[in-house]
């Protein structure tokens, strides 16, 4: 399998997970079961969905849109994204979402950081309180553009996270996802990719402003061991009730990697289960989808469902993935 197929798979898996979780985001597990039953396909959002009321099946959310936004900035900037340029792009994106009548706007850490930036706080300080999963949800393009060697990867993750999530938890969560995706694109088996995610999270915990919360690397290691070999119902209980599925990076990032560990050979089952868990379902499923998409490649994901997401949203991952892989090739040769 080629690196391009794996990179396309990472973006397609992210978008598929995002779309599966779109109709269930910010709902409880019990409410999801009551309103939708079992989530085993792309679903229309119910009219009173709290974030995406009435959105058609297959629609993506901020996870995929912001990942694509970051990807284009990386390609246009030759692998670098100026913090103020990124901030303006995020604000413009939110303004466009408001014009479209969407309630799917900037997350709490990103919104707070951009408000501080507009008030004159320096870019390196504005994101110091960002401990949620916003950086991790959109980090996939950085993973595609950067080989998995830990030091350069962590540098790229930190640079992309600084403006909104310059905290130990924010960077550790983003580093974990990026490491798993980047290692997968290089062809590392799932177990090795998730081991690399643990190492990256441990290193990322020493970056940015210290933030109180469970250590992400330790929680990933514990969760991976706990979920191995458990059935779907017990897995759902473990992730929803104990790991957690909130926007906190130490919950949702760990949940995504735990699902990848438990259901790595069945990517659609992993993403559908994530979509039915409750909480920040679109982001958990998107992060898990990026990791498993890098493992299985575009050719290993369910073609009908991916095609539906591409068609509903008018997506074309090819050009941006090619640009990101050119950056990766340059970094591999020290350019």
250-278 pLDDT, tens digit per residue, is 999 999 999 999 999 999 999 999 999 99
Torsion angle (degrees, nearest 10) of CA 62, 300, 75, 117? 30
Q: Is 61 annotated as a binding residue?
A: yes
**Residue 181: closest CA among 293, 61, 273, 35:** 293
> What band does 96 get if pLDDT is binned at 50, 70 and 90?
confident
Could you report the per-residue pLDDT of 288-305, keeping only the tens digit for each?
999 999 999 999 999 999
Query: Residue 155, Cβ neighbours under 10 Å: how many?
Result: 12
Residue 306: per-residue pLDDT:
98
Per the annotation, does 62 bind a ligand? yes
User: Does the pLDDT at position 199 exceed 70?
Assistant: yes
pLDDT, tens digit (0-9, with 9 covering 90-100), for 68-81: 999 999 999 999 98
Which among 58, 87, 46 is positioned nearest to 70, based on CA atoms? 87
pLDDT reported for residue 117: 78
* Predicted local confidence at residue 120, as pLDDT: 83
Fold of the domain built from segment(s) 3-332: ADP-ribosylglycohydrolase fold (1.10.4080)
Instruction: Check residue 94 and give its pLDDT.
Output: 78
Give the global pTM. 0.94
pLDDT of residue 85: 85
- pLDDT, position 105: 63
Taking only the tens place, the pLDDT of each residue in 99-129 is 766 666 667 777 787 788 778 888 778 778 8
Is the pLDDT confidence value at 178 over 90? yes
Is 48 known to sit in a ligand binding site?
no
pLDDT of residue 175: 98
Per the structure block, which two tokens stand in for 226? 């706990």
pLDDT tens, 12-34? 999 999 999 999 999 999 999 99
- The reported pLDDT for the residue numbered 124 is 78
pLDDT at 102: 67
Between CA 114 and CA 127, with CA 19 as vertex, the angle to 5 degrees is 15
d(CA 32, CA 41): 14
pLDDT given for residue 91 in this prediction: 80
63 is in an annotated binding site: yes
Higher confidence at residue 114 or residue 231? 231
Distances (CA, A) of 77 to 64, 115, 136, 156: 20, 24, 20, 13
For residue 334, how many other CB atoms are within 10 A of its CB?
A: 6
Tell me which residue of 198, 263, 217, 200 sits closest to 236, measured CA to CA. Answer: 263
Q: Which conformational region is residue 279 in: left (phi greater than 0), alpha (psi within -120 to 50 degrees), or beta?
A: left
Q: Is 245 marked within a binding site?
A: no
Q: Does 213 score more than 70 pLDDT?
A: yes
Helices H / strands E in the chain, number of each: 18, 0
For helices 303-313 and 3-21, the axis angle rounded to 10 degrees is 70
Q: Annotated binding residue at 335?
A: no
Token digits of residue 209: 């402003």
- 67-90 per-residue burial string, b: 16 or more CB within 10 A, e: under 16: bbbbbbbbbeeebebebeebbebb
Contact assessment for residue 157 and residue 142, using Cβ atoms and an 8 Å cutoff? yes
The pLDDT-based confidence of 239 (bands split at 50, 70, 90) is very high
- Categorize the per-residue pLDDT at 2 as very low, low, confident or very high, splitting at 50, 70 and 90: very high
Task: Report the chain's mean pLDDT, rounded to a whole number.
Answer: 93
């Amino acid at each position: 399998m080629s690196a391009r197929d794996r990179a396309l798979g990472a973006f397609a898996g992210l978008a598929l997970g995002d779309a599966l979780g779109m109709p269930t985001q910010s709902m409880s597990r019990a409410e999801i079961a009551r309103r939708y039953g079992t989530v085993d396909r792309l679903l229309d959002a119910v009219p009173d969905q709290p974030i995406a009321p009435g959105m058609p099946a297959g629609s993506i959310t901020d996870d995929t849109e912001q990942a694509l936004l970051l990807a284009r900035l990386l390609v246009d900037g030759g692998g670098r994204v100026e913090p103020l340029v990124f901030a303006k792009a995020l604000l413009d994106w939110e303004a466009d979402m408001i014009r479209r009548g969407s309630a799917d706007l900037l997350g709490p850490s990103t919104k707070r950081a951009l408000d501080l930036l507009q008030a004159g706080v320096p870019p390196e300080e504005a994101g110091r309180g960002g401990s949620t999963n916003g950086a991790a949800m959109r980090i996939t393009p950085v993973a595609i553009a950067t080989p998995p060697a830990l030091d350069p990867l962590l540098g790229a993750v930190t640079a992309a996270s600084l403006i909104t999530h310059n905290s130990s938890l924010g960077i550790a969560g983003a580093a974990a996802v990026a490491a798993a995706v980047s290692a997968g694109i290089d062809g590392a088996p799932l177990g090795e990719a998730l081991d690399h995610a643990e190492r990256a999270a441990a290193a990322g915990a020493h970056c940015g402003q210290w933030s109180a919360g469970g250590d992400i690397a330790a929680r990933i290691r514990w969760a991976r061991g706990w979920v191995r070999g458990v059935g779907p119902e017990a897995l759902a209980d473990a992730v929803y009730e104990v790991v957690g599925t909130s926007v906190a990076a130490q919950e949702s990032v760990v949940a995504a990697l735990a699902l990848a560990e438990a259901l790595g050979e069945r990517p659609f089952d992993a993403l559908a289960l994530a979509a039915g868990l409750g909480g920040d379902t679109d982001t958990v499923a998107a992060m898990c989808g990026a990791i498993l998409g890098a493992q299985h490649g575009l050719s290993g994901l369910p073609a009908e469902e991916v095609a539906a997401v591409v068609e509903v949203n008018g997506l074309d991952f090819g050009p941006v993935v090619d640009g990101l892989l050119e950056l990766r090739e340059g970094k591999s040769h020290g350019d």
